Amino acid sequence: MSDFTYVVDAEGVATLTWDVPGKSMNVMSLAGFAELNGHIDSALADPAVKGVIITSCKKDFAGGMDLNVIAKMRDEGGAGGIFDGVMEMHAILRKIERAGMDPKTLKGGKPIVAALPGTALGIGLEVPLACHRIIAADNPKAKIGLPEIMVGIFPGAGGTTRLVRKMGAMMAAPYLLEGKLSDPKGAKAGGLIDEVVAPEDLLARAKDWVLSAKEADLVKPWDAKGYKMPGGAPYHPAGFMTFVGASAMVHGKTMGVYPAAKALLSAVYEGAMVPFDTALKIEARNFTGVLMNPSSSAMIRSLFINKEALEKGANRPDAPDQTVKKVGIIGAGMMGAGIAYVSANAGIEVVLIDAAQDAADRGKAYSEGILDKGIQRRKVTAEKKAEVLARITATTDYAALSGCDLIVEAVFEDMKVKADVTAKVEAVVGADCIFATNTSTLPISDLAKASQRPEQFIGIHFFSPVDKMMLVEIIRGKQTGDVAVAKALDFARQIRKTPIVVNDARFFYANRCIIPYINEGIRMVAEGVEPALVENAAKLVGMPLGPLQLVDETSLDLGVKIAKATKLAMGEAYPDSAVDEVLFGMVDQGRIGKKANAGFYTYDDAGKRGGLWEGLAAQYPVADDQPELTQVQHRLLMAQVLEAVRALEDGVLTDIREGDVGAILGWGFAPWSGGPFGWLDIIGAARAVEICEALTASEGVRFAVPDLLRDMAASGATFYGKTARKAA
């Protein structure tokens, strides 16, 4: 089986069609690259061939490099193997770019054009960038760009070097540094591709171009005499400003914890000062450095390989297809309205119920608001809006739930209200209907007591805002059956969320880990640690929000509610009184967070966040002796990580992949680390034990080393290594 077909027509135009067997999207493998190379050799050697079209017969061009291959290259070949492999790819792409021309006279080359029917990402754009022209079909759904940075690497098959030379560093920055993707028209406007044509004209236009191309059309600007980088190279006054600015901006955004961003900047900066072929070598060297960095393997593992595996149902029980056709959502508040939107948007019929009709209508209006914004941004058409809204019935009438195969309950966080709703729903829905609750704090097994069918009762915990947050936490109650789990997973797939499946215990998984993080931050304030030190320590270790900003966002009064409930449940063993003093005190003063424009931070009338609230220092004076930065970081990280390990020990988590993916998508746990377990593997269990022992001595037993970690330290095991997986 081959990935490319090669056909030469009567006029001497060779068409190389990418069509990886058995896949809906082309991905590049090493074998695929070798095949492409062979066909290019044939085309260049065959005097009957005048030029080449590289295209795909699938609806898209390509999704990128198979990242499993990259992982394999690293594991098998080490740094030397990666560098050699990457340089081989460079040689093939350079051969396409030179296309047989004499390097001195730049004459005698054959035109090679990329014809993109749809999406072209990563290597799927790096190959076209080596061609002499890129023509894309006008397909508004297509995405074109270089998203590598999003999984902790950067474009390493010449994409970095070519894009910067084609567009200039400033214009290339959003594509390289932020992984910006454009539709074909946007890509043309941005200078990423050369031409957009009607889909039905794509191949004809490509052929026309090949047959009419002049020798000068085949010479890349950087191979022509007198080439100057658009916007200026680093030693040019304008270029200098770009590079200094970019360096500061990247550091400000990444806090220096993402090796790929730094390496990308080095490749761009150093590469801009040398000839093209040397720049490719510099790119390869930096790319190799990134692949050898444990952070990039951890990011690829969690954000690509394992995330995809979970989305494809890695932990789905063996049950028949449970695709949701009609979902009933009870409670049209903030969460219910969001769940209704994502469901209707995925083509599912929705019945949205609230206690009063105007509340139900407001819930539906939320979808309208999102769709209107989409129309303004030209992402949604008026027809699409009408279609989505027509799928949502907003009502107070439970009878409308008849025919629903899934219910998602999102009413007030109150056991009794939820129990009433459960009984009312079960009176009208069919015997097979699955009932899911979106509770964030109440045990699923307790809520299931109100159900006549506890095996069909499950938790589906969404995060706010529902349309933006990618994670859903599926919670198995004591009696939840496999079909209910399969239903929840199939629903998550339909609405394009990443699911994790956890067992029922206080705060499930995500909240269980976030709460200690917030509490550790607040505890430090009570101890007199400079609040700015707490916040910056968190950011410098890669947390998107410091704990004080995070609790401002989620609101301090919610924190008080949770603290009271936890204290009630734990009694004497409750460990967070010192935290409560600050938390309750803030709430007593009306500083309940962002929603009140007053919390640990100040906010202006428009809700824009200012600095940390100075009044805090009057109540919790800043101590003369401040802890070391690393001490603060260890406390903030270990507060979360130990909770994740305990969740694994307790059987709440059954799969470390879910623990890592859930942590990054659920609460933004330092993505560079690949998640809590990824981080522990990077530092090693022995070092983790050392840190925890020191923290236990200085801070107390909340940092006591879990047995699992101690055993792993003794045996030298890692979470993602074979021995540890068995132990876990």
**What residue ranges bind ligand NAD (CB under 6 A)?**
330-336, 353-355, 359, 410-413, 417, 420-421, 438-440, 461-462, 464
> Smaller CB distance to ligand NAD: residue 238 or 356?
356
Which CB, 229 or 359, lies closer to ligand NAD? 359
Catalytic annotation on 90?
A: no
The set of residues, in sequence order, having a beta carbon less than 8 Å from that of 227 and lying 6+ positions away, is: 165, 221
Instruction: Name the one residue in this structure whose structure tokens are 């754009």.
Output: 125
> Which is nearer to ligand NAD, 95 or 424 (by Cβ)?
424
> For residues 398 and 584, which CB has a smaller minimum distance to ligand NAD in the complex?
398
Residue closer to ligand NAD by CB (options 14, 350) is: 350
Q: Would you call 414 helix, strand, or coil by DSSP? A: coil
Cα(671)–Cα(543) distance, integer angstroms: 8
Among 186, 154, 203, 199, smallest CA distance to 16 is for: 203
Q: Residue 359 or 429: which CB sits closer to ligand NAD?
A: 359
Packing angle of the helix pair 629-649, 510-527 (nearest 10 deg): 150
What are the backbone dihedrals phi and psi of residue 228, each rounded to the nearest 5 degrees, phi first?
Answer: -125, 135
Tally Cβ neighbours within 10 Å of residue 427. 11
Say how far apart CA 521 and CA 541 lie, in whole Å. Answer: 14
Tell me how crowded residue 624 is: count the other CB atoms within 10 A of its CB.
6
Candidates 90, 132, 461, 634; catalytic one: 461
* Smallest distance from ligand NAD to CB 429, Å: 15
Backbone φ and ψ for 315, nearest 5 degrees, come out as -115, 25
DSSP label at 623? P
CB 49 within 8 A of CB 14: yes
Coil, helix or strand at residue 397: coil
Residue nearer to ligand NAD on the CB measure, 501 or 541: 501
- Shortest distance, position 375 Cβ to ligand NAD, whole Å: 25
Shortest distance in whole angstroms from residue 565 CB to ligand NAD: 11
> CA 178 to CA 246: how far, in whole Å?
12
Q: Where are the alpha helices (DSSP H) in 391-481?
A: 415-428, 444-447
Helix (H, G, I), strand (E, B) or coil at 546: coil
Q: What minimum distance in Å lies between the beta carbon of 474 and ligand NAD?
A: 13
Minimal CB distance to ligand NAD: which residue?
333
Could you count the other beta carbons within 10 Å of the beta carbon of residue 653?
A: 28
Q: Which is nearer to ligand NAD, 261 or 447 (CB)?
A: 447
240-251 in b/e form (b: 16+ CB < 10 A) is eebbeebeeebe
CB contact at 8 A, 435 and 409 = yes
Q: Hey, how many other C-beta atoms are within 10 angstroms of the C-beta on 237?
A: 7
Pairing relationship of beta strands 434-437 and 406-409 according to DSSP bridges? parallel
304 DSSP assignment: I
Provide the annotated active-site residues.
461
